[in-house]
Each structure stands twice: as structure tokens, then as C-alpha cells.
Amino acid sequence: MRTDTEHTIYLKDYAPTPYRIVSVDLDFKIAPDTTRVRAQLTIEPREGTEPGAPLALDGEELKLEEIAIDGAPLVLSAYAADATGLTVIAPPARRFVLETLVSITPETNTKLMGLYRSSDVWCTQCEPEGFRRITYYLDRPDVLATFKVRMTADETLAPVLLANGNLVARGSLDNGQHFAVWEDPFPKPAYLFALVAGDLGSITDTYTTGSGRKVDLAIYCAHGKEEQCAWAMDSLKRSMAWDEKRFGREYDLDVFNIVAVSDFNFGAMENKGLNIFNDRLVFAKPETATDADYENIERVIAHEYFHNWTGNRITCRDWFQLCLKEGLTVYRDQEFTSDERSRSVKRISDVLTLRSAQFPEDAGPLAHPPRPDQYREINNFYTPTVYEKGAEVVRMLATLLGEAGFRKGMDLYFERHDGEATTIEAFLKVFEDANEVDLGQFKTWYLEAGTPKVTVSDTYDAESQTYRLSINQETAPTPGQPEKADRVIPVAFGLIGPNGSPMGWKGVSGGEVREDMIVLRDKSAEMTFTGVASKPVPSLLRGFSAPVNLATNLTQNDRLFLAQHDSDPFNRWQALQDVGLALIVDAVAGNEADEAAILALSAAMSDTLANNSLDDAFKALALNLPDEQLVGRTIGKDVDPAAIHTARKALLKAVFGPLVDRMYTAYATLASEAPYAPTTEQTGRRALRNRLMALMVTASPNGPALAADQYRHATNMTDRFAALVAAGVAWTADAAALLADFRLRFAGDPLVFDKWLAVNARAEDEGVLSRIEIILDDPAFPKNNPNRLRSLVGSFAMGNPVQFTRADGAGFRFVTQFVADVDTRNPQVAARVLTGFRIWPMLEATRREAAREALVTLKENENLSRNTSDILARMLG
Ligand code: ARG
Ligand code: ZN
């Protein structure tokens, strides 16, 4: 394996380019096999650039056919081109036009970066460094230029020709060719460039902004899928309205286009005025999409749209600042969903995602700060830390500053930095200036990796009516960061009295305590509350006010008390989870079962189910035990995933077994004849009903038959798929037959095939691996499609902890062999799947050794991509 340390890029080395690109004229001659790109770049030296200093442009897999400056062809000695770029040795010391003609082959572009062909459609993905695979350029986010794009293609092969901005001309040419010219008036970095050419259907609509600009909206897709784009369009219009209302941000062009393509490396891309989407995040109809799919589409449509301001109008100075746009935009899409649906349910779901995707990253060999200071391969930093933890950091800012203070800062951000490529420092500065606060210590959240552990313990003295809370923070070392600074941690809290009502206090000393929040700034604080009439139970970290692991001296009874009385829905949910977590951890340690706590948890679950003041979606989240990975992380070392799995399943039976009759009654009552709609009300109802069904599969002998029955009679994909997952994951007696039916019933729908693949990959039984191998070895399996590959192998590595970490190492070896193979075609998919190994250092010795062996064998491969070798090198430390 190449180690490529020479390629490491450091934040401290940032310097602007010696040249600026002012405007770009591109002319694409699109045709099967070879596409020609003529680029005219208007370039000028920046102030202070040595006259004649070399101009180094990025370029990859380009064939240079012509090169000229101001119309005069360059002699061979005036430039040098190699596999990474083109250097003009002594360019003019004034504004000039560099013209290049290159040819590229989108058809063979299996990396899906740059211009490629997906199901006959030409499309692009440029973020972060794909534009250099289209033409020679200063391919970095701090080079902002206006773009004019002319495209020519066969009128039958590509009747639709799209690029960024507004359409300024189009027409027919000889030989069945036609052309279109698009112009984007907003200067932008190359990573936001996009074009699409192909034979596509579309749906259209319009939106009128608050100030009266009429915007033409369109969603383009494969013919025949048009009616499946309606939900995405609806989501887009709601997003546009929300950003005006909540952040005062209007759309700024006359058109907004979205294109759905079937081969795409990740979710979607916010190219200016021309978002390109993985089609799984556009298409929805009740028969083939689940409620979760509908919610995901709504969320990602909103996310990409919100980037128009947080990402496009204000972009990143360099890729170290990625969370400037991603963390902030995830925060914005979370707020959108919270406003459109249920805030508390959204918060719980987001915390579940954070804990299952980001916490393990932060606790393992791939840990990095939201703003890293070095990288070998930037594609490997589109991570849960940059996205989800980045959003948590923004959320803490809003928590600390209050809604009004946060909005003042955002307003100043848009006012001060519109049109710029900027940094995290500039982002923090607007909040400091708008609120007259110092965020120096807060910045640590961006600079340091690792999830802080916050430990709290309390004591009460009845005689003096004083209540003491002692709190401290500790962050374990992460790769490259042995020492950790103290962070500012907002701990939203309340005290609850013996009757279940909130309790006040007379005075408080020893820490920064606001009405409903403790702000911890030091390593530890001892707070004394006076005038506390009786011993309270503290509700801590309400709403999950900071991305930390909380440990307390609360008893199981305290937790059960909170589950019943806390006014904060998040903490009611959390309290129940904590009771279950302690019980599973205990069981894995081989301690005698705390029968009283099990009974009490069972009763609490029963109360939750019966409680009419809770909504269904909340109940669906509450009637569960913490997932196995969370248990593993809580245990922390020498983890045996099989033992955790067994203990968790036993507890599920013990807690929910006694409730089966009640659950069945509720299940029957929740059935509905209403025609399917992805509304919050219906979604919650189905979520609870399907949750009960899944619980019964584990806790009742009749559960498997119930699941099979639900599968057969389902009238929408949400219910059908929930039953398939429950049966498939548990690998019930019917599982194979249901899977076979599912495959036939939806033959020809690739997105439903992904669902089928994922269930196959997550089955808990020993046979799963050989079944996956058979699926993958089928010559008809689409070996280059990221969705298919991730659904099968990604689901196995990330979503089947027991079989992936099999003690005989077969799961590990299967994944590393897959990675080695896919890496030759699509390094991004390979590297992403490999991150499933991030839990390996925590495993017990046999599994740990097996994982290490598989990784070391992979490392012997000489030809790994930079993407995969970077992950591998960090994984092995
Ligand atoms: N900027 C896109 C978004 O909205 C994602 C781009 C992902 N790129 C990557 N190389 N993984 O989040
Ligand atoms: Zn994004």
C-alpha cells in the first residue's frame, strides 16, 4: 500500500491562489464515447503575485488537445501537463484568457466524479474535486467565477440540456444536433458547477417569493417516473417558504431545477440552481416508498435547497471548513422538519442517528474534529462528525444565545459574508459581534475530536434544605489529540419534586446556573441550591442540549420517576432507555438480574403504551431498548456483540412478553382504512403499530405469523416493509418465502430491490453471509451502482453487528475482499464501506485479532486508491 504521507494537506498551509479566475466560458460537445470541453478562463494575477509566476491548474484524466493564451497557441515549452494537472510556466502579468480543449470519456467514468453517464444520462458531480475531471481549473472553493455554459448534443439522445443559472439561448443545429446556453450570474466555486444532458421526463410548478419573484420549478427524471416526483416538489415549495419565514432567505434565480439520477455516490448535491439527486431521494409512491423514505426525501430536498444560502451564496474558503456549510445546513434542515412535524420526535430521532453514526466515529480510530486541520483525502471527511456533530455545535450556539440572539448572528452572517468563501472563525465572529459575547472557548467544539463525558452526582441535606450538584467533564484522547481542553457545555436541566412537579430554589452558588440551564465551563463545578424543600430528582441534559455522554448517580427508580414525570419529552424517553441500558449492561456482565427493575420497566412500558397524552410517534420510539452498538460503547472494551445481542433479546422478552395481549389489542386498534398519506398523524400511527408488530415477533410465539400476515395484507410499503424487516432480521420460518415474494412482486424497481438487499444483509442467522455472497456473485448484479452495493454490503458492515463481527473472521474478510474489488472502480464507495470497521479496537480479543488480520491483508494490496488507503491507515493507527 502507498502511504501517501507526502500528500497530506494542512490547514496551516492555506494560501490564496496567485491567480484569480474571473469568468468561465465552457463549450461542451457531448457525444457518446468522447465529450469535448472547450474552456475559456479569464484569469488575472492577484495583487502581490510575482510577474510571470507559474499558473498551476488541477486536471485529472483529461486529454489535452489544444491550448492557447489570448488566442495564440502555446508552444510545447510554455506548459507542462501530467496526471494531476497543467502548469502554464510563465503566464502574462495581466488579465488574459486561457483557452484549452480537452476530451473526456464519461462512459468509462465509474468513479462517478466529474462528468459521467448514468442510465444514458450525462450528469456531473463536482464536489469536492470533480471539476478537475472536466477541465483544467483552479479546483478549490475559494476561487469564485461566473460561468457561462454552452452545450451541444444529439437532439434525440439528449433533448434536455441543463446547467446552472438561467437559460439564455437554445436552438437546433444541423445533423440532428441542438444546443443550449446557460448563464449563472452568481460567482461560484467550481464544485457547484453542474450540467445534465439526456432524455428525461419532468414535472413543473412555480413558486412566488415573498418579494414577488416568480420562480419556475422543475424536477427531471427517467420517463415514467414523473408522478413519483410530486412529493419532492411539494417538499421543495415548503422549504422555500420556510427559509423565508424562519431565516428571511429568498431564492435568487428565475429557475430551480432538480434532476434525479440512478447512479450517485451519495445523497444529493446543491449545485447552484441545478440540484442533482440520487433518485432514491426523489421518487416516492405509497406502494414502493415507506414513511421513512417520504421523510428522508422531504429532509434532503430541504437540505439541498437551504444550501443555496448556506453553502452557495456563502461558501467555504477551503475544505477544512466543510462543516461551515454542512453542519449549519443540517441544523437548518433539522429545524425545518421540527417545524413541519413534531419537534420532540425529531429531536429523539436525530439523537438516535447521532449516537449510532457519529458517537462510534468519535470513539474510534477515525475520530476527527468537526473542523479537521489535516487530510489526505477530502472525500473521507464527508462524515457524521462534519454533518451531524457539526449541526449539534450550531444547535448549542442557538441554545446558549437564545433564539433571538442566534437569529441576530445569522442575519449578520448573511449580511457580512454574502458572496464570500469564508471560515469557521468568521462564522463565530458574527455571533460574538451580534451578541457581544466571547466564543473563544466555544470554538473548542470545532477544533477537538471526541465526545465529552459529563458526570453528575447529587446530594441533598434535609436539615438545611440544600441540594448539591457536582458536575465534571472529561474527554478521552483521540488520534493525534492526546490533550483535551475544557469545553463550554450547556446542560439544560430542571429539578422535579416528589409529587412530580417542577421545583424551584431560592439561591444558587458555585457555578453558572441560568433559569433552566447550567453552563459548565471548567473541568468541574460544585453547585449549591438553597431553599430546596425536599429531595428533588434532577432532569439533566434536557433536549440533549449538548452532544456528550452523560453519567449520573440516578437510581433505576429515579429514572422510572423521570420517565413518568419529566416535562421534557426527550428526557422522558431517555430515562426509559437508561433503565434498559443499565439492565443489559448488567446482564452482559453476568450479574444477577434485577427482577424488580425489569418488572418496573415492563410496567412503565405498559403505561407509556396506554398514555393518551403521548403521541404515537413518541410511543414508537419509547417502546424499545437501546441498540446493541450503544450497549457496546457503554461497555467500552472487550466487547462481545453476540453476548450483547443475546442479553438484549432476553430483556426484550422479559419486558414486553407480559404485555403481549395489551400490545396486540393496541396493534389491532391502530389499523386504519384511511387512504395512505405521508402525514405526521398517519406516519406516527403506522410507526407505533409496526413497532408493536416488531416487538411481538421477538416477545410472542405468535409474532412471526403476525408479521407474515401483515406482510401479505399490507396496502402500502411502510407496513409491508416493516413486516419484511421484522421477519427477515429475526430470520423467522417465513422469512425466506416473504423475501422471495417481495423480490417477485416488485421485480424491475431498483429502489425496492435496495430494500430487499438490505433486509437480506441484516438477517441475524449464521447463513446470512453465504446468501449475500450468492447475491453478489450473480452475474446480473449491478456491480457499479452505489445504491445496490451499499444496500447489500454497507448494510451488512454497518447494520449486522453480530454477523459482521463473527468470531471466525468470515464477516471481516468478506468486507475487506469486497472493498478491494470495488476500490478498483469506485473508491468512494469502497472507502465508505470500509469505515464499518471503526468499532474493531473495542472488540474482545478473538474478534479484534480477526478484524486486524483482515485489515492487514487488505493493506498488502499495492493498488489501493487514496480514499481506501487513507481510511485503512487511520483504521490501523
Ligand atoms: N454537499 C452535498 C450535501 O448536500 C454532499 C456532497 C458529498 N460529497 C462527497 N464527496 N461525499 O451534503
Ligand atoms: Zn449538505
pLDDT at residue number 448: 98
Tell me the per-residue pLDDT of 101-144, one tens digit each, with 9 for 90 and over.
999 999 999 999 999 999 999 999 999 999 999 999 999 999 99
- Phi/psi of residue 200, nearest 5 degrees: -130, 150
DSSP 623: S
Q: 304 in ligand 1 pocket by Cβ < 6 Å?
A: yes
State the Cα–Cα distance between residues 325 and 329, nearest whole angstrom.
6
Q: Compute, in angstroms, the gap from residue 617 CA to the centroid of ligand 2.
A: 27
Q: 308 in ligand 1 pocket by Cβ < 6 Å?
A: no
- Phi/psi of residue 623, nearest 5 degrees: -80, 65
Q: Compute, in angstroms, the gap from residue 192 CA to the centroid of ligand 2.
A: 12
CA-based torsion, 390, 799, 822, 278: positive or negative: negative
Q: Evaluate whether 457 touches 470 at the Cβ level (below 8 Å).
A: yes
Q: Evaluate whether 575 touches 562 at the Cβ level (below 8 Å).
A: yes
Question: In angstroms, what CA-CA distances link 352 with 541, 568, 721?
Answer: 15, 17, 21
98: which 3 cell numbers?
A: 486561457
State the Cα–Cα distance between residues 299 and 732, nearest whole angstrom.
34
Residue nearest ligand 1's atom 11 by CA: 382
Ligand 1 pocket test: pick from 125, 269, 277, 300 the residue with the most ligand atoms within 8 Å of its Cβ.
269
Three-state DSSP class for 541?
A: coil
Residue 269 has pLDDT above 90, yes or no: yes
State the Cα–Cα distance between residues 762 and 746, nearest whole angstrom.
20
Q: 298 in ligand 1 pocket by Cβ < 6 Å?
A: no
Q: Compute, in angstroms, the gap from residue 387 CA to the centroid of ligand 2.
A: 8
* String of DSSP letters for 149-216: EEEEEETTT-SEEEESSEEEEEEE-STTEEEEEEEEEEEE-GGG--EEEE--EEEEEEEE-TT--EEE
364 CB-near residues (< 8 Å, 6+ apart): 838, 839, 840, 841, 842
Residue 5 has pLDDT above 80, yes or no: no
CA proximity to 195, closest of 228, 230, 147: 147
Residue nearest ligand 1's atom 4 by CA: 269
3-state secondary structure 328-397: HHHHHHHHHHHHHCCHHHHHHHHHHHHHHHHHHHHCCCCCCCCCCCEECCHHHHCCHHHHHHHHHHHHHH
Q: Compute, in angstroms, the gap from residue 723 CA to the centroid of ligand 2.
A: 32
Strand partners, 552: 456
CA proximity to 163, closest of 301, 37, 274: 274
Q: Evaluate whether 797 touches 804 at the Cβ level (below 8 Å).
A: yes
308: which 3 cell numbers?
A: 443555496
* pLDDT classification of 6: cutoffs 50, 70, 90: low
- Phi/psi of residue 371, nearest 5 degrees: -110, 100
Query: What ipTM was predicted for this assembly?
Result: 0.98
Q: Identify each DSSP E strand in 193-273 by its residue range.
A: 195-198, 201-208, 214-221, 255-261, 268-269
Residue nearest ligand 1's atom 3 by CA: 269
Is position 483 annotated as part of the catalytic site? no
Q: Evaluate whether 293 touches 207 at the Cβ level (below 8 Å).
A: no
Q: Compute, in angstroms, the gap from residue 821 CA to the centroid of ligand 1.
A: 24
State the Cα–Cα distance between residues 85 and 140, nearest whole angstrom.
13
State the Cα–Cα distance between residues 875 and 87, nearest whole angstrom.
35
Residue entry with cell 471548567 = 522
The per-residue pLDDT of the chain, averaged, comes to: 98
Q: 379 in ligand 1 pocket by Cβ < 6 Å?
A: yes
As a dihedral over the C-alpha atoms of residue 163, residue 169, residue 173, residue 177, rounded to 10 degrees, the angle is 20
pLDDT at residue number 394: 99
pLDDT at residue number 36: 98
pLDDT at residue number 490: 98
Q: Evaluate whether 408 touches 45 at the Cβ level (below 8 Å).
A: no
Which atom of ligand 1 is nearest the CA belonging to 382? 11
Q: 388 in ligand 1 pocket by Cβ < 6 Å?
A: no
Residue entry with cell 486486524 = 852
Q: Compute, in angstroms, the gap from residue 584 CA to the centroid of ligand 1.
A: 37
pLDDT at residue number 1: 52
Residue 2 has pLDDT above 80, yes or no: no
Of the residues 60, 304, 388, 628, which is catalytic?
304
423: which 3 cell numbers?
A: 471560515
Tell me the per-residue pLDDT of 436-473, one tens digit each, with 9 for 90 and over.
999 999 999 999 999 999 999 999 999 999 999 999 99
851: which 3 cell numbers?
A: 478484524
Strand partners, 29: 36, 152
Residue 293 has pLDDT above 60, yes or no: yes
787: which 3 cell numbers?
A: 445504491
433 CB-near residues (< 8 Å, 6+ apart): 409, 412
DSSP 310: B
Q: 382 in ligand 1 pocket by Cβ < 6 Å?
A: yes
Which atom of ligand 1 is nearest the CA belonging to 269? 2
The letter for the amino acid at 122 is W
Q: Evaluate whether 317 touches 327 at the Cβ level (below 8 Å).
A: no
State the Cα–Cα distance between residues 545 and 330, nearest whole angstrom.
16
Which atom of ligand 1 is nearest the CA belonging to 113? 10
Tell me the per-residue pLDDT of 128-184, one tens digit each, with 9 for 90 and over.
999 999 999 999 999 999 999 999 999 999 999 999 999 999 999 999 999 999 999
Tell me the per-residue pLDDT of 200-255, one tens digit each, with 9 for 90 and over.
999 999 999 999 999 999 999 999 999 999 999 999 999 999 999 999 999 999 99
Strand 145-154 versus strand 19-29 pairing type: parallel
